[in-house]
Amino acid sequence: MIKIVGAGLAGSEAACFLASRKIQVELIDMKPEKFTPAHSDKNFAELVCSNSLKSDDALGNACGLLKAEMRRLGSVTMQAAEIAKVPAGGALAVDREKFAAFITKKIKDDPYIKVTCEETEELPEEGIVATGPLTGGKLYDAIEQRFGGSLHFFDASAPIVSRESVDLDKTFSADRYGKGTGDYLNCPMTKEEYETFTAELLTAKRAKLHEFEKREIFEGCMPLEVMAQRGIDTLRFGTFKPVGLFGRDGKRPYAVLQLRKENAEGTSLGLVGCQTNLQFSEQKRVFSLIPALKNAEFERYGVMHRNTYLHSPDVLNADFSVRSQPKLYFAGQITGVEGYVESAMSGLLAGIHCYRRLCGKPTLLPSTETMCGALSDYIANTRGAFEPMNANYGVLKTDISCKDKSERRKKIAERALEEIEKLKESI
């Protein structure tokens, strides 16, 4: 029986893949007896920061390509996303509760998976460790003692407001550049409103950080107030950029905050890109300066918490096994991949590699011309500075060249999916 520690996206993927190959699995998680500071749902595979799995464009977006690869490999995350998806333009967004409930039921109904509710305190000698970016307690100490080099960075989540409390007369529905079916609610701001908001954001009180958290923040999870420190127009050229959006008067606003559905019913709306570490009362005060959110009711305030990851190039092979302990695998954000889809991908691959080892087969790595293969290579073979990495075209190793960017990405995707089909046939 294979032990898998942690039932987040990565652990769930690994468990479901192994069970699909009739391998007995014990999936160990401390839920529902105990939760991390960021978790509250008793179900497995809980999404804590956003309900978006990013772009679903396989031919023009790196994360979209990664999803397409995972679908071909039988990813349970992709199955759940299809069942629980909510309208979000060109992005794949889901109803969090339906998403987690689908995966949890699939796990608990599977005769090859035994679920054990307990907190793991010791590092196992073999199996898969997928305890996530909030790994703590004695297990964290055991990992640090065994390998050293454990690092942490910040992850900040955005607030959620109720739709009925938003002043819809001061919004307009549209997707950037007209892509999608108008799934985003846009909250426009004039120059004066934007500058007032930014000024108050910069002076607002922030939640107190512990000493161990006072370090550079990972760029991909940058809190809004930290981004704003870079200059008055930073948000207007980033999170609040109005490019490709036109208001009710047909004109482009000075700045725009976008709201996205957080559930299928659309009763809850997330503030896109507004991860923050402001005190809760300050979040209410500052975001209410945006006209459409003047009377907004906050269903969840943004929070920022520590994320833990290994210095994987010193610890892991490209198949996610431990260099000094090849029967032990790590998966998820603790390996240094960043993002929901990337985390799930690493769990799926760890499950595949573990299965092949059990069958006495040699290691079979995905081609580095695929997104999942390129990320696997990144976590194992990066030299120099190492930090969490999202799916992106920069990590791919390909000889495809084309002057037209769109055409090049299309060709990259076509080759990647050809390589994934070869991998699938060989598993």
Pairwise CA distance, residues 58 & 60, whole Å:
6
324 Cβ neighbours under 8 A, 6+ residues apart: none
Mean pLDDT in residue range 58-67: 95
Contact between 386 and 402 (Cβ < 8 Å) = no
Pairwise CA distance, residues 308 & 383, whole Å:
20
Residue 150: what pLDDT? 64
Higher pLDDT pick, 406 / 110: 110
Percent of the chain with pLDDT over 90: 72
Higher pLDDT pick, 164 / 193: 193
Flag whether pLDDT at 250 surpasses 60: yes
Residue 331: what pLDDT? 98
Pairwise CA distance, residues 229 & 240, whole Å:
15
Pairwise CA distance, residues 83 & 182, whole Å:
21
Domain ranges of the chain: 2-153+307-426, 160-302
165 Cβ neighbours under 8 A, 6+ residues apart: 295, 296, 297
pLDDT digits (tens, 9 = 90+) for 392-425: 888 888 989 888 889 999 999 999 999 999 999 9
Mean pLDDT in residue range 256-262: 94
Average pLDDT along the chain: 91
- The domain made up of 160-302 has a fold known as Elongation Factor Tu (Ef-tu); domain 3 (2.40.30)
Contact between 341 and 420 (Cβ < 8 Å) = no
Mean pLDDT in residue range 299-317: 86
Residue 153: what pLDDT? 67
Global pTM reads: 0.79
Highest-confidence range of 98-102, 209-213, 396-400, by mean pLDDT? 98-102
Residue 215: what pLDDT? 52
Mean pLDDT in residue range 320-345: 95
Flag whether pLDDT at 213 surpasses 60: no
* pLDDT band, residue 217 (cuts 50/70/90): low
Residue 37: what pLDDT? 61
- Class (C level, CATH) for 2-153+307-426: alpha beta
Which of these, 157, 190, 383, lies nearest to 270 by C-alpha position? Answer: 157
Mean pLDDT in residue range 160-182: 90
pLDDT digits (tens, 9 = 90+) for 237-248: 999 999 999 999
Mean pLDDT in residue range 99-123: 96
Flag whether pLDDT at 106 surpasses 60: yes
Pairwise CA distance, residues 24 & 17, whole Å:
11
Residue 151: what pLDDT? 64
* pLDDT band, residue 214 (cuts 50/70/90): low
The alpha-helical segments, DSSP class H, found in 38-75 are: 62-72
Residue 193: what pLDDT? 98
Residue 315: what pLDDT? 95
pLDDT digits (tens, 9 = 90+) for 316-326: 999 999 999 99
Pairwise CA distance, residues 310 & 332, whole Å:
11
Residue 262: what pLDDT? 85
Pairwise CA distance, residues 146 & 138, whole Å:
12
* pLDDT band, residue 266 (cuts 50/70/90): confident
Mean pLDDT in residue range 147-170: 83
Contact between 100 and 42 (Cβ < 8 Å) = no
Residue 42: what pLDDT? 82
Pairwise CA distance, residues 222 & 378, whole Å:
22
Residue 149: what pLDDT? 64
* Integer CA distances (angstroms), 234 to 225, 227, 328, 414, in order: 11, 7, 44, 36
Q: In this structure, what DSSP letter does residue 342 have?
A: H
* pLDDT band, residue 220 (cuts 50/70/90): low
Flag whether pLDDT at 386 surpasses 70: yes
Contact between 268 and 261 (Cβ < 8 Å) = yes
Percent of the chain with pLDDT over 70: 93
